[in-house]
Structures are given as C-alpha cells and as structure tokens.
Amino acid sequence: MTGRVVIVTGASQGIGRATAEAFARAGDAVVATSRQVPTDGASHSEGLGVIVTMALDVTVDSSVASLVERVEARYGRIDVLVNNAGRGFSGSTGELQLEAIQESLDINFLGAVRMTKAVLPGMRRAQHGRIIAVSSIGGVIGQPFNDAYCSAKFALEGLFESLHPVAAQFGIGVSLVEPGPVASAHRGLAARAVSDDEKMEVLMSSHRARSERSFASAQRPEEVAATILAVAESEDPALRYQTSDYSRRMVGVKLHDVTGSQVTTMTAGWISGAWDDRVRNQ
C-alpha cells in the first residue's frame, strides 16, 4: 500500500527524520514536522514520494490544530500519524523540579494526545488509519534517574493500550513502538537535574557512565524507522512492537513480573555499589 499521507512529528533528526525518509521512499507524501523548520512548507522528492516540512509545536493546542487543518486542506486526508516528538529528562524525583516533570508530560505524553485527538475525527470518517507512537523500553520499565521520562512514556502506553480496541472498531490501528538505546542527538538534548547531596551525585554519575556504555551498541534510527514502516503497512497491527532483541528481552521481563521484584532487583543492580565504592576509595 503506497500513496499514503503521513505526518511524522519530531522529524528534524534521529528516528523522526529516518522515519520520514522511509515513508517517502515507499512512495508516500510525508509531512515532516518540528518546532523549527528551515522553510515552512518546503518540499523535496525522496525516492518515490515527497517530504514537506511544516512547523509544529506539539505542546501548543493552536499549533496542532493548524497543522492538521493545513494537511487536510492540502491532501484531503491523513492516513498515518507517527507521534515521535519527545525529549529526555534525567534525574531522580527528589532532584527534579516540578516544572521539568510537567514539561516531560507535556512533550512526551500530552503532545501525542493532542496530535492523536486531532487526527481521529478524519480517520473515523474514513474508517481507516494508523496512529503509531514511538515509546521506549522506558515506557514499560521504570529506570533509575529517568523518572520524568518514564512516567510520561508509561502514560503514553496506558493511553494507547486503552484506545487500541476502541479505535479498531473504526478501522484504525493504534500501536506503540518500543526501542532500546538509539544512536541519535536526542540523548544529548536531555535535560539533567543536579543535586547537592554527595551520595545522589555519585549514584547519578554511575548511572550516566552505564548509559554511555549501553549507547556504545545502540541501534541506528533507520532500524527503528523500518519497524515503524512495517507497522503502518500491517493489515492488523498489534499494540506493541519492539525494535531489537534487547528491547524484546527487557519488555519480556516486565510483562512476566507480576510483583515487580524482578524488575526492581535488576534496576537496583544498575546503580548498587557505586556509593560503597566511593566510601572504600576515600
């Protein structure tokens, strides 16, 4: 199935850009959005399709409404929405400012809510559509010092899991794509909290070092984009898709852990010993 009208949010880099290019190569008309675009409304051919850049801030209701109106006016319909816009937030709850947690929810969760609500009426009328959200293994497993990001992605997972059976009644597929570490500039743009507690700083430093090691073998954005394209082309899309063996293993741990003890034992191991090592070396 080609010739779709596709919106990709957060398409200036990383997964979003790779996804826009993948759909265009498949012959689709892709509206690639971001908060800052070089030339709003500019277009260029990519493979068999075309990519049109449009400005969008998913945290602003009027920006979302305007974008969807422009796309529907230009093409007459929206076939696929890829909710990809997001930002990382690093820090534990005690160190994070409340404003940072609110910002994470606004970008990583409510941004997808706004976009989903905006495209649903047209998809319901057409009795067809695909809505895909780029989640994360952090949307399934809570991770130390990723409190704000994980809470927003958990909310996204709950929303889509609830919406999935209802949307299906209207011919709309609703799916989550769950990558593990991905090599992109997204990680470098994460907001980081600081602490005046020495032990907390040691734990956070240990966490950052572990994260750097995990990203040494990170997936390429193009691999995630390939999964997203396959989901959009599925006749009967499932709710969840992992993008690598690593993410499948991690999600599998959570879905089989009814008490949470296996997950928390695992994640405690990611930071345990860091403070004891510091004390011994003083």
**Residue 149 is a catalytic residue:** yes
The pLDDT tens digits along the chain (282 residues) read: 459 999 999 999 999 999 999 999 999 999 999 998 888 989 999 888 999 999 999 999 999 999 999 999 999 999 999 999 999 999 999 999 999 999 999 999 999 999 999 999 999 999 999 999 999 999 999 999 999 999 999 999 999 999 999 999 999 999 999 999 998 765 555 677 777 788 888 888 877 777 777 666 789 999 999 999 999 999 999 999 999 999 999 999 999 999 999 999 999 988 876 545 554 565
What is the per-residue pLDDT for 96? 93
What whole-number distance in Å separates Cα of residue 148 and Cα of residue 104? Answer: 6
**Is the alpha carbon torsion for 44, 47, 49, 52 positive or negative?**
negative
Query: Please, what's the largest Cα pairwise distance for the chain?
Result: 67
Q: Which of 147, 143, 144, 119 is nearest to 133 (CA)?
A: 119
| Residue of 75, 149, 241, 246 with catalytic role | 149
Exposed e or buried b per residue across 94-129, where buried means at least 16 C-beta atoms within 10 angstroms of its C-beta:
ebbeeebbebbbbbbbbbbbbbbebbbebbeeeeeb
Domain residue limits, the chain? 5-281
Angle between helices 198-214 and 261-271 (to 10 degrees): 100
- pTM of the complete model: 0.91
> Are 204 and 35 contacting, i.e. CB atoms less than 8 angstroms apart?
no
| Residue listed under structure tokens 């809570």 | 142
Domain 5-281: give its CATH superfamily.
NAD(P)-binding Rossmann-like Domain (3.40.50.720)
What is the per-residue pLDDT for 2? 55
